[in-house]
Structure 1
Amino acid sequence: MNRRRTIMVLGASAMAVGLLSAAAWLGGLRLNLTPSEPLGLWRIEMPQRAIAAGDLVFICPPQTPPFEEARHRLYLARGLCPGGVAPLIKSVAALAGQHVEIGEDIRIDGRLASSHLHRIDGAGRPLRPFAGGIVPPGYFYLHSPFASSYDSRYFGPIPASGLLGLARPILTVVP
């Protein structure tokens, strides 16, 4: 009798966790467990205006070779975006028409962007930087203040069509 009760309690608990997770997902809540932005609970909000430089966004990365490699290198968490990855949470550093220069540092329209490049990742593998250029229409150039973040410094601008919404912290902590 005890075994049956234990199985029923575990089953009910699993169902409750699943229902709560589904409700949170449908309600736009996301858990960030990467150091690119503060750890914790975030909400995706639909923007009521055009996305601007400086906005913090959730965006699904495209299924391209750089993101396939990033998935294999475990830079990206598993999630429900196309390709089975979690959405990125990054700041929009440049919009369509802006010029990004990649050298010893990164400049956007000639202004220094507080960022620099790494030549290798934490496992000693080479990182290929984005070549630079004009952000095309319908794309965003993304950035994270975390020095080791995998962002547009390496994968370049990504399509705005993957935008899920603005990222708003609910309960977060800086690591």
Structure 2
Amino acid sequence: MTAQQRRAAGIILVAALVAILAIGTALAGGYRINLTPSEPLGLWRIVPLYRHVAVNDLVFICPPPTAQMQEARARGYLRSGSCPGGVAPLIKTVIAVAGQQVEIGASVSVEGRVVSSSNLATRDGSDRPLAPFMSGVVPPEYVFLHSSFPSSYDSRYFGPVPASGILGLAQEVLTYAP
């Protein structure tokens, strides 16, 4: 190996170490990159939530490791990540909390009010059938999630999820919405 090749290899090694350190620091600081169309693409931050979750909170949440989520992972709806079950946290808006009535038909309504952009799909992008979750009251310590993105996989299909999976509020840092 020539001196020039050793120098180039050293520069590449230092650059790789700096990149790894930067990524590790960003993850430890609560920063995440969103590559899904459910919310704007780009850099987001998980902000600690020091109160009970409320309707209209945009949150990062780990989906529970249920059979439904395993199927969603197998279908490619969920990305790999650090949550239980090996999936990435979701960014979703809380549209109902414990005790609220959610009706699921052609669209979703909460306490009798239709949720904007909540029409249900009967098939996914690969023409596989999608089944809506049943209507009902959100159980204690659970939340009902939504994304206005038409192809979002959210509580319309998997139902309420434990509020204990909430990592914090989702705050846009540097994003791009096409």
Give the TM-score, by structure 2 length: 0.95
CA RMSD of aligned residues (A): 1.0
4+ aligned runs moved over 3 Å, structure 1: none
Structure 2's unaligned 5+ residue stretches are: none
After TM superposition, the structure 1 = structure 2 runs for residues 145-164 of structure 1, keeping only pairs within 5 Å, are 145-164=148-167
Indicate the SS of the match to 1:11: helix
Q: Partners of 1:96 and 1:173 in 2: how far apart?
A: 33
Q: Deviations over 1:94-123 (max 9, x none)?
A: 000011111112111111112110000000
Aligned equivalent of 2:20, options 18, 21, 36 = 18
User: What is aligned with 1:136?
Assistant: 139
After TM superposition, the structure 1 = structure 2 runs for residues 105-144 of structure 1, keeping only pairs within 5 Å, are 105-114=107-116, 115-144=118-147
Q: Partners of 1:76 and 1:8 in 2: how far apart?
A: 37
After TM superposition, the structure 1 = structure 2 runs for residues 52-63 of structure 1, keeping only pairs within 5 Å, are 52-63=54-65
Indicate the SS of the match to 1:150: coil
> How far is the alpha carbon of 1:18 from its aligned partner?
0.8
Indicate the SS of the match to 1:119: coil
Residue type matched to 1:141 in 2?
F
Q: Partners of 2:9 and 2:133 in 1: how far apart?
A: 53
Residue type matched to 1:158 in 2?
V
Give the TM-score, by structure 1 length: 0.96
User: What is aligned with 1:79?
Assistant: 81
User: What is aligned with 1:50?
Assistant: 52
User: What is aligned with 2:42?
Assistant: 40
Identical columns (%): 57
Structure 1's unaligned 5+ residue stretches are: none
Aligned residues: 175
